[in-house]
Structure 1
Amino acid sequence: MAAAAAGGEDEAGGEATRRSGTNGPPPGLLTLVATPIGNLGDLSPRALEALRSADAVLCEDTRVTGALLARHGVSVPLVPLHEHNEAAQVPRVIGRLAAGEKLALASDAGTPLMSDPGYRLVRAAIAAGLPVTAVPGPNAAVMAVTLSGLPPHPFLFVGFLPARAAARAAELGGLRAAERAGLRATLVFYEAPHRLAEALAAMAEALGGDRPAAVARELTKRFEEVRRGSLAELAAWYARHEARGEVVVVVGPPAPEAPAGEAELDARLREALAAGISVRDAAAAVAAATGAARKAVYRRALEIARAAAGKAG
């Protein structure tokens, strides 16, 4: 948190980031502005000032951002930037920034780039040497994690799962494989309300129905709800009750597996070594998959490898 100590130098520091070493016009500034995820009172003073002082505001839906700005008496040109036009808009926006304009990027709700447009624009601005900053604020994923009652760190933000069942099962299968290899993190998903029940059922099948989870809906709004239970229980609940509003699903990390016995460790190590994997890599893979102590597994792998070499000799 050392950066917080420089908070009193925000204006001077901001200007410093915009200085250019060339004789041309100073570069502009791209500011990523987090907007409310429900309660309009969550728009921060800094966010409002960044929007008000921008030469133009890039946004997903001009109607949504326009209504937010009108509520605060702000009149700024709005430029649509969404998944369907971002590739075409990026060169134009980079040109405006290079000409010295101050532009703000706002999502319909929440923090830009987090399952929202803007990544290609930010990458292009960085590649062009143009300054990029952000005004932090609301984020549904982080809020859901804090309210879930599940371990807050580490967490892995997955975003939206594929809508098609086969693709969704494949992605969840990849996450489960990563967990078998040692990943221990709380998982965070966004989901459309009409797909929530089938998504929870798919998670229960791939990750385990007994996994603790939480479904957070309508965060910061009047009917905010966080329902907690196992994946199987939540899948059954939402199969009977229609979900409404924006949804975040939080899934707790897998329970530690029982330590593998000596016979299982030896079998895994022999299989890995027979496949031509080095002793070090075989030990690392088996230790990650079983949760056994890495040094102990490495010692055993050396013993097995030496014994095999002796027989071959």
Structure 2
Amino acid sequence: MVTSPPPDDPSVPPPLPAHRDPADAWVFADSGERYWGLYGAAGLLAHDPARGVLLQHRAAWSHFGGTWGIPGGARHLGESALEGALREAEEEAAVPRNALVPVAEHTLDLEIWTYTTVVARVDTPFEPEVADAESLSLAWVGIDAVTDLPLHPGLADAWPVLRTLLEARPALLVDTANVVGSVPDGWWRDRAGSTTALLAAVADAIASGLPGDPWGIEGGRVMPHVVAVLEGDARSAESALPVRAVKAERDGDSEIVAQASALASEGFAVTVVTSDRGLRARLPEGVRTVGPSWLRELLPG
């Protein structure tokens, strides 16, 4: 646990900084309830499999002071939930962005205001630091011990879904030949170019999260590990991070089966994008499938 020096009066908030962002203000509901952040808010639920989740003991003067929550705060104008959560976690707990791999998002939408929890896996272990007056302390808490603490009401309500997201390891395996060939848009004139465009669009979609339904996750969006299998003339296509392109040495179907087996053995919950019935029949037991239309409807543009 990391603890900050006690303030002179823990019930009195510190003065607002001179660089205060215009988004740092309350939104009021007709009922009189108030919510922090003109453009909504976001927080980070960092998960280290060896130590648990990073929680913040909130200062007495803060909203629901004395409870345990996660680092977070108001999103800036035009800022994505992911960027807002990472920025707030860095400002409040010195969480290094490059130590995390975002895996999912859960959003509470009250119409007048939203709060998005970004779930991220700790890829490089780090020690948090109390970096501002909003925290009494920071601690890694085992998943089974979270509900033993007096939680912020928002975290308490969302915890059942968030715990499901913590335990998920979603992977998306794309049969690019099948997806590209699902729309008669002239792809046959430039297979590599059409495949490059598809991979770029998939990368953009992942940044916003995909519906969790294919992985059996309700009420959340996921940022899966993505593998795209290339075959034939499309092998020269260029991949865009975070999509990992794999060039099939022989036929694409055999490579997809091999990749699905490898991912499943690593503990990933695998969903394959293909409409090929023959391929679907060859996939390992437990691997889910969705058709190309499911993916295409999620792509920007």
Alignment TM-score > 0.5, same fold: no
**Who wins on radius of gyration, i.e. which is larger?**
1
Q: TM-score, normalised by structure 2?
A: 0.27
Q: TM-score, normalised by structure 1?
A: 0.26
- Greater strand share, 1 or 2? 2
